[in-house]
Every structure is written in structure tokens, then in C-alpha cells.
Amino acid sequence: MPGSTVDFSARAANVFFHVLTRCNLRCRYCYINPEAHGRRRLPIEAIERWLALLARRSPGANLVLLGGEPTLHPDLPRAVRAARRLGYASVTIDTNGYLFHRILEKLAPGEVDAFSFSLDGAAPETNDRLRGKGAYAACLEGIRRARARGFAVSLIYTVSAANAAELELLGPLLSGLGVERLFLQVLGLRGRAAAAGEAGLRLSPEAWRAKIPAAAAAIAGRGIRVVAPRVFLEPGEPFVCAGRTADNYFVFPNGRVYRCPLCEDHPIHSLAFAGERLTERPPLTERELFALEIPEGCVMNRLVQPDTLRYTPEGPPAYRIGCCLIKEEIPPRGDCGRGVEPWSR
Ligand code: SF4
Ligand code: SF4
């Protein structure tokens, strides 16, 4: 892994703001957990206040507005404009493609850096098995409409055993749709995925290494920017926990603010919104866990999804798990890698 990737991403400030938790879909491995994240739609006045507090704390952060399905929030355009006024470096909206409340007509391309659409299969039946009937058609239709109105479009693809083989088909699909960036994500066992015991959908290190880098490089060769986490570190590769070095905020409508998404099922958030203030919570929170050095790499992976680990007969781990927040741009075959901003969860 190029050293610059870690350094660059580790310096970025990113706010992932869940404006509500409600969604029209029920994806098989949705990470939203209403018990932990609340059920309310955050009023626009609170969104504006919280955005201002975060902007004061981390000026020039990248902002991702998400949910649930964030376009179900009728005041999303007002949230975008507030973020612009407050000086956020970029504003992205993550969506499942249904684009409620005529959002494309209420925003101009200059106000949003990108709409990021979630798709989990290059074939309709694969995606819809994971995300629900009709989700594929709605997503592609949403992408086409967004492109037609001049918006930049990214795609988020959560790689699993159910769809890894279809990465080869994804390149031509994305080229045809005019998608500019692809974020590959590793499946996290949180929310519904944890409750449903979806560990079997995760790729083994061998399967990841055999399939994903080559397929990602082929897509990058089409001129699409491909961004992926370093899931399994090679021996000797540096391990960095973004929780210790970076400035990420995962904000939920019940006021919880996490620094690491793997913690989100548990009440160990570092910060909380209370009234007019954003306050650091006393120990024990995720913050104290980030400081632990373990041979397995990511401490939260060890705690919340230990079945992703394997050990050698002598005892040490067979591999280390990298930080899912630190991502790199996959170069087309033969090029050198370079660091990127982690603009997707
Ligand atoms: S993963 Fe996203 S689109 Fe799917 S149910 Fe959860 S919030 Fe909705
Ligand atoms: S995913 Fe692991 S390595 Fe990354 S911030 Fe969380 S605890 Fe740290």
C-alpha cells in the first residue's frame, strides 16, 4: 500500500450525517439499527445547528448526507444549502435511487458534488435479491435522471459473496450510464446484517485477493475512478486506525456521534449532541478502544466480527485487518496508486 494513501486519508475530515433512519427499502445487510440510531426524522433546524457546530470544529470537512434514504427528508435541499454557506468542502447525497420529493428539481448541479447511488449487483436479479424487488430498475433510472440534469454520479457497491463475480460486468454498465466514481465497500456485520447472521456473505482474504483488485483495475481502465478499502493487509504493511488519526464523524438523528462505523450498534459513541452543544462523552467509549494495539490490526473488527479472523497453528493471526475507513484509489493496470478522500462509508 502506498504510504501516501494512509497519510492523505488520515488527514481528511468527513461528516457522514444521517438525517433520518427511515427507508423505503429493506436491504438484506442494511447497517441501520433504529434501536441504536433512533427513529426520528431530524428537524431541519437541528440539522442546520449540528452542521454549524461540526463546521466550527472541523472547518472544510467533506459532507455526506445519508439515511435511511435521505431524499425522504423534505428539507434536504435546505440542508445542502446550509452546508454550502458553512463552508463544507464538498456535499454528497447517498441514495438508493428512488429520489423522493423531486430532489433533482430542487437542487442545481453546482450545489451538490455528487449523488452516490447504491447498487449491489450488475444484474437485476442479483441486486434485487439483496436490496428488494424493483431496486435495480429504480437505481438505474435515478442515475439516468441525475445525469440528464447534469449532476455528477458515483456508485457504491458493497462487495459480498453474492455479487463479487459480477464486478466484471459492472464496468460496461457504469460506462454506459456515465458514472464517474465507484466506491467498493466491504460488507460490515452491523444492524440487520449482524442480526441476521450474514457472516457467510463476507469474502475470505483469498477470495478478495483473487477477484477484487483485478476486477477493480479493469473498471479503472475505463476511466472510472475506483476507490476501495485495504481490507486485508500484507505482511509488513503499516496499520493505521482512522479513529486515532483522522477526523470522521458519523452523526445519527438521536444525537449519537461515532468516530468509527464498526461501533455503531453499541452505545460507545465518542460524542453526543445535547441542546446547543456537541460534547465529548466520558470513558468508556470507542476512543479508548482505538488506542489498543493488537496483532489482528483493527480492534473493532476483533470485537464485533471476530469470525473474519483466522490464526496460524503457531498462534499469531494469519493476516491483519486494515481500517475500513482508509481507502485508496485503484489504478488501472500498470499505474501507480494514489490517495483519495474517503467520501463513502
Ligand atoms: S441499506 Fe440503505 S437503501 Fe437499503 S434499507 Fe438500509 S438505508 Fe435503505
Ligand atoms: S474500523 Fe478499526 S481501524 Fe478503523 S477506525 Fe474503526 S477501530 Fe479503528
54-110 residue pLDDT tens:
999 999 999 999 999 999 999 999 999 999 999 999 999 999 999 999 999 999 999
User: Within 10 Å of residue 323's Cβ, how many Cβ atoms?
Assistant: 29
Domain-located, residue 105 = yes
Count of CA atoms in the C-beta half-sphere (13 A) of 319? 16
Residue 166 CA: distances (Å) to CA of 122, 125, 127, 170, 216 = 6, 11, 10, 6, 11
- Cell numbers 488501472 correspond to 332
**344 burial type by CB count under 10 A (0-12 exposed, 13-18 middle, 19+ buried):** buried
Which three cell numbers, joined as nine digits, stand for 309? 479472523
Domain-located, residue 92 = yes
Tell me the three state secondary structure of residue 228.
strand
**Cis amide leading into 203 (omega within 30):** no
Q: 206 Cβ partners below 8 Å, 6+ apart? A: none
Average pLDDT, the chain: 91
Distance 116 CA to ligand 1 centre (A): 13
Distance 52 CA to ligand 1 centre (A): 27
Ligand nearest to the CA of 127: 1
Distance 38 CA to ligand 1 centre (A): 15
Ramachandran sector of residue 134 (left: φ over 0; alpha: ψ -120 to 50; beta: rest)? left
Tell me the three state secondary structure of residue 227.
strand
Kindly state the average pLDDT of the residues 191-203.
Answer: 75
Domain-located, residue 340 = no
* Domain at 201, CATH number: 3.20.20.70
Domain-located, residue 45 = yes
Does 68 contact ligand 1 (Cβ within 6 A)? yes
Beta strands in the chain (DSSP E): 13-18, 62-66, 90-95, 114-118, 153-159, 181-186, 225-229, 232-233, 247-251, 256-258, 271-274, 277-280, 320-321, 327-330, 338-339
Which three cell numbers, joined as nine digits, stand for 201? 456473505
Contact 243, 9 (CB under 8 A): no
Cross-strand pairs, 271: 257, 280
Distance 290 CA to ligand 2 centre (A): 7
Does 70 contact ligand 1 (Cβ within 6 A)? no
Ligand 2 atom 2: the closest Cα is on which residue? 298
User: Within 10 Å of residue 345's Cβ, how many Cβ atoms?
Assistant: 22
Ligand nearest to the CA of 117: 1
Give me the pLDDT at residue 291, please. Answer: 96
Kindly state the average pLDDT of the residues 104-129.
Answer: 98
**84 burial type by CB count under 10 A (0-12 exposed, 13-18 middle, 19+ buried):** middle
Among the residue ranges 80-89, 141-150, 266-275, 329-338, the one predicted with the least confidence is 329-338
Measured from the CA of 94, which atom of ligand 1 is nearest? 2
Distance 140 CA to ligand 2 centre (A): 32
* pLDDT tier, 320 (very low <50, low <70, confident <90, very high otherwise): very high
Ligand 1 atom 6: the closest Cα is on which residue? 30
Helices 205-220 and 167-177: crossing angle in degrees, nearest 10, is 30
Which residues lie with the beta carbon below 6 Å from any ligand 2 atom?
241-243, 260, 262, 290, 298-301, 323-325
Range of the structural domain that residue 21 is part of: 13-293+321-330
CA atoms of 310 and 296, how far apart (whole Å): 9
Cα dihedral across residues 184, 186, 190, 191: positive or negative: positive
Domain-located, residue 299 = no
Domain-located, residue 3 = no
Kindly state the average pLDDT of the residues 4-30.
Answer: 80
Domain-located, residue 5 = no
Domain-located, residue 339 = no
Measured from the CA of 299, which atom of ligand 2 is nearest? 7
Provide the domain count of the chain.
1
Ligand 2: residue of 240, 241, 269 to mutate (most ligand atoms within 8 A of CB) is: 241
Distance 136 CA to ligand 2 centre (A): 31
CA atoms of 205 and 130, how far apart (whole Å): 22
The pTM for the full model equals 0.93
